[in-house]
């Protein structure tokens, strides 16, 4: 989801990032505050004053979202869920979890922490605004505090809507999960609520645009589209985790994969392997022992005139734990490893020996089959001959 992130700071051990999309919306919010919102609430001030108020309020909004997501993260940590970081993006923020809550109670408390923190922050900001006004403090500071209090109030109330994947929708899922003891059914109902709420916002936004409120209507429309997409994606992810929960890497991997001898000339590697099997990277092994990996990127960096007299071992890279996985590991762990390290495949090793390759294409085919046919999760699905094995002679 996040392709252009900037690291901001670390809070309670959680790394906070900001996506480029949030910088765009932050600039738009600051402009709207400086030219419309604050001039209407405090008329007669100089333009630079409105701009520093707008910048201060925008920074306050950023920290309000971080406060909200940190509350989620602290409760998640309490229940042993790893948080990889907090990222601010165009529609707010998200705490990126490495796993799902293990119980309905954990999910409910983790979800409730966000809106409650926003409502608490809202009350605090309203109180500070009242204290400022009561002591004849600067009206500009009072206006910024009141605006941030109102914003956090709306953030807290909106997130309580029982529409997945909003916090209220997660609380609904947790309640249904605890009642029915079926997370799949609970997710389906909560996701349907999220889908319906998304459609409502899309229709409402369209009507607002037709009535002349283009900016407000477009925001409602876009948020509705986002909620629908996110609800469907969360449901599919939950179902995928259920059908793959008991599957191991050994059940899915391609055994006895193509491996490149380290002494093979680069020219022969290109002709006999890259052009024939159409992979960008191959394992390098001798007598079954994994020595490294080599691909088109390493070869492209080598002058073509050297291909004939350069061996694969001279350009191969050493394998790291990011490139390999054990056959006993779970498929869900393999998926997370691929996603975190941006790998399209993993080399499966046992006692240092290469015994298989696990590719994203194999995972997608297995998931598609299991979701479509509801195959027994303890039995590997039959598949086509994997492209990682050598072709039989004709």
Q: Domain segments of the chain: what residues?
A: 5-244, 249-373
Residue bearing tokens 């109180």: 127
Radius of gyration of the chain (CA): 27
The active-site residue out of 69, 107, 234, 281 is 69
The C-alpha angle 20, 23, 28, rounded to 5 degrees, equals 135
By the 10 Å C-beta count (0-12 exposed, 13-18 middle, 19+ buried), 209 is classed as middle
Listed residue (182, 190, 148) closest to 37, CA to CA: 148
The CATH classification of domain 249-373, taken from the options 3.30.465.10, 2.60.40.2470, 3.50.50.60, 3.10.580.10: 3.10.580.10
pLDDT < 70 regions, the chain: 1-3, 90-91, 98-99, 370-394
Backbone φ/ψ region at 80: left (φ over 0), alpha (ψ -120 to 50), beta = left
Query: Per the structure block, which two tokens stand in for 97?
Result: 């979890």
pLDDT of residue 376: 44
pLDDT of residue 254: 87
Query: Per the structure block, which two tokens stand in for 382?
Result: 């039959």
pLDDT of residue 182: 83
Q: Is the dihedral of CA 370, 373, 377, 380 positive or negative?
A: negative
User: b vs e for 54-90, b when ≥16 Cβ sit within 10 Å of the residue's Cβ?
Assistant: bebbbebbbebbbbbbbbbbbbbeeeebebebbbbbe
Nearest-angstrom CA–CA distance, 82 and 68:
17
Query: Per the structure block, which two tokens stand in for 377?
Result: 């999760």
Tell me whether residue 69 is one of the annotated catalytic residues. Answer: yes
* CA-CA-CA-CA dihedral for 339, 167, 187, 361, to nearest 10: -10
Residue bearing tokens 């941030």: 148
pLDDT of residue 120: 96
pLDDT of residue 113: 94
pLDDT of residue 111: 92
Q: Would you tell me how many other CB atoms lie within 10 Å of the CB of residue 170?
A: 26
pLDDT of residue 99: 66
Query: Per the structure block, which two tokens stand in for 311?
Result: 């061996």
């Amino acid at each position: 989801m996040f392709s252009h992130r900037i690291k901001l700071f670390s809070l309670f051990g959680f790394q906070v990032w900001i996506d480029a999309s949030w910088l765009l919306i932050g600039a738009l919010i600051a402009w709207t505050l400086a030219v419309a919102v604050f001039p209407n609430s405090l008329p007669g001030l100089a333009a630079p004053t409105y701009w520093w108020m707008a910048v201060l309020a925008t920074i306050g909004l950023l920290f309000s979202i971080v406060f909200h997501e940190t509350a989620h993260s602290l409760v998640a940590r309490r229940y042993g869920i790893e948080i990889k970081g907090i990222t601010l993006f165009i529609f707010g923020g998200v705490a990126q979890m490495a796993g799902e809550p293990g119980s309905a109670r954990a999910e409910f408390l983790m979800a409730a922490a966000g809106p409650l923190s926003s409502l608490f922050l809202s009350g605090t900001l309203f109180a500070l605004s009242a204290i400022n006004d009561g002591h004849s403090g600067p009206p500009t500071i009072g206006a910024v505090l009141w605006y941030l209090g109102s914003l956090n109030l709306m953030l807290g109330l909106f997130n309580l809507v029982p529409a997945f994947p909003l916090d209220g929708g997660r609380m609904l899922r947790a309640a249904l999960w605890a009642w029915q003891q079926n997370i799949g059914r609970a997710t389906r109902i909560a996701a349907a609520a999220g889908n319906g709420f998304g459609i409502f916002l899309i229709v409402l936004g369209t009507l607002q645009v037709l009535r002349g409120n283009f900016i407000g209507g477009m925001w409602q429309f876009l948020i509705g589209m986002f909620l629908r997409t996110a609800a469907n994606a969360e449901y599919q992810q939950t179902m995928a985790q259920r059908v793959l929960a008991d599957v191991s890497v050994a059940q899915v991997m391609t055994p006895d994969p193509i491996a490149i001898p380290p002494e093979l000339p680069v020219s022969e590697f290109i002709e006999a392997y890259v052009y024939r099997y159409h992979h960008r990277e191959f394992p390098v092994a001798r007598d079954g022992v994994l020595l490294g990996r080599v691909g088109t990127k390493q070869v492209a960096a080598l002058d073509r005139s050297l291909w004939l007299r350069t061996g694969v071992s001279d350009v191969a890279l050493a394998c790291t734990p990011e490139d390999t996985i054990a056959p006993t590991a779970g498929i869900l762990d393999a998926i997370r490893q691929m996603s975190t390290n941006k790998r399209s495949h993993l080399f499966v090793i046992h006692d240092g020996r290469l015994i298989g390759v696990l590719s994203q294409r194999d995972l997608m085919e297995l998931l598609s089959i299991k979701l479509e046919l509801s195959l027994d999760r303890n039995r590997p699905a039959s598949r086509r001959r994997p492209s990682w094995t050598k072709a039989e002679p004709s």
